[in-house]
């Protein structure tokens, strides 16, 4: 329960969130937790849009608003994984409509983020004091919070922007991907993706990642490298079969690494685990084409 600030706050009946959209996909604003793990990608921007309708007449009457008073809205987020906050513009009502938009740059979110929607009493008219009315500008009349669960398909990779050393033959490369799979078979079901997938982006060519086709190639390379960890890793055939069984039916509470593989495996291998190892070694070009087609179709 929120502590009274000495002024009235909006009631749920005073407004309605008509649309909450993240990366073009509608979300249920009534849920406290929004899962984006199947579509959200760390190396792409995230765009949040919200449309709310306010009962202006009722609000003006209940809160003694005058023409000098202004009601505005704002979206803001905080990501604990990156310790970065983002704020949308503080937008005024357009009639009874409130339209907000917030863009999160690539690589500035990880794992989980909190999204907050606030309605603010701005430009408070203090010429007349009314009991229950805010007296300070930017008094928060309402706030709603959602937890955005990001971890999943691509979100937990360890991505670093570094300077590639000149003369090592890689200084003009766009990125370098390394996979460190767990040593123990049982750890495949619990390890997090950030401990397995490591991506070093060439700082000198970082702007190239803004090109959509280059972004797509990075994602495809990362997925192919992750699949190689299954089939080209120096383990026994029995151990590989056990890993594939876990991928096809992840245990409850599996870590993000296994959940990521579980999402990609059916796309790469249309026959599931049947002869998957042979299919990998003889159809890599086809597998890459399947993955590229899937990633290219994501919004």
Q: What is the CA radius of gyration of the chain?
A: 24
How would DSSP label each residue in 115-180? EEEEEEEES---SS--TT---STTEEEEEEEEEEE--STTTT-EEEEEPPPTTSS-TT-SEEEEE-
Q: Identify the CA nearest to 175 among candidates 232, 220, 113.
A: 220
SS3 206: helix
Q: What are the residue ranges of CATH 2.60.40 in the chain?
A: 12-149
What does the pLDDT profile of the chain (299 residues) look like in tens digits? 344 566 777 888 888 999 999 988 889 898 888 877 556 766 678 999 999 999 988 888 877 777 777 889 999 999 887 889 999 999 998 889 999 999 998 878 877 899 999 998 876 666 666 766 777 778 888 899 998 887 544 445 677 778 887 656 677 889 999 998 888 888 898 887 877 888 888 888 888 888 888 888 998 999 999 999 999 877 888 999 999 999 999 888 788 888 889 989 999 999 898 999 999 999 999 999 999 998 887 65
For residue 231, what pLDDT is reported? 92
Handedness of CA 264, 113, 77, 75 (dihedral sign): positive
Please report how many Cα atoms fall inside a 13 Å half-sphere around the Cα of residue 82, on the Cβ side.
24
| Count of alpha carbons within 13 angstroms of residue 189, beta-carbon side | 15
Contacts with 169 (C-beta within 8 Å, 6 or more apart), sequence order: none
Q: Please provide the CATH number assigned to the domain covering 12-149.
A: 2.60.40
State the Cα–Cα distance between residues 109 and 47, nearest whole angstrom. 12
Count, in order, helices (H) and strands (E) of the chain: 6, 13
């Amino acid at each position: 329960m929120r502590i009274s600030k000495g002024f009235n706050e909006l009631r749920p009946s005073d407004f309605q969130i008509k649309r909450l959209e993240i990366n073009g996909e509608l979300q249920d604003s009534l849920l406290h937790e929004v899962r984006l793990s199947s579509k959200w990608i760390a190396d792409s921007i995230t765009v949040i849009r919200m449309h709310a309708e306010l009962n202006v007449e009722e609000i003006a009457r209940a809160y003694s608003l005058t023409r000098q008073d202004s009601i505005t809205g704002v979206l803001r987020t905080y990501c604990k994984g990156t310790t970065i906050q983002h704020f949308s513009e503080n937008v005024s009502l357009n009639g009874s409509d409130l339209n907000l938009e917030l863009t999160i740059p690539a690589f500035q979110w990880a794992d989980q983020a909190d999204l907050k929607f606030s309605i603010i009493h701005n430009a408070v008219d203090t010429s007349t004091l009314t009991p229950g009315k805010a007296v300070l500008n930017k008094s928060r009349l309402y706030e709603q919070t959602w937890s955005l669960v990001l971890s999943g398909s691509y979100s937990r990779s360890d991505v670093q922007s570094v300077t590639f050393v000149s003369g090592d033959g890689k200084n003009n490369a766009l990125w370098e991907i390394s996979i460190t799979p767990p040593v123990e078979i049982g750890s495949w079901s619990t390890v997090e993706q950030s401990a397995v997938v490591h991506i070093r982006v060439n700082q000198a060519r970082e702007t190239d990642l803004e090109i959509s086709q280059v972004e797509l190639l990075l994602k495809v390379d990362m997925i192919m490298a992750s699949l190689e960890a299954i089939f080209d890793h120096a383990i026994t055939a029995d151990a590989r079969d056990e890993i594939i069984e876990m991928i096809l039916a992840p245990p409850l509470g599996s870590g993000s690494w296994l959940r990521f593989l579980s999402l990609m495996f059916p796309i790469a291998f249309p026959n599931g685990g049947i002869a998957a190892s042979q299919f990998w070694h003889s159809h890599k070009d086809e597998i890459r084409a399947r993955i590229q087609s899937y990633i290219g179709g994501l919004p």
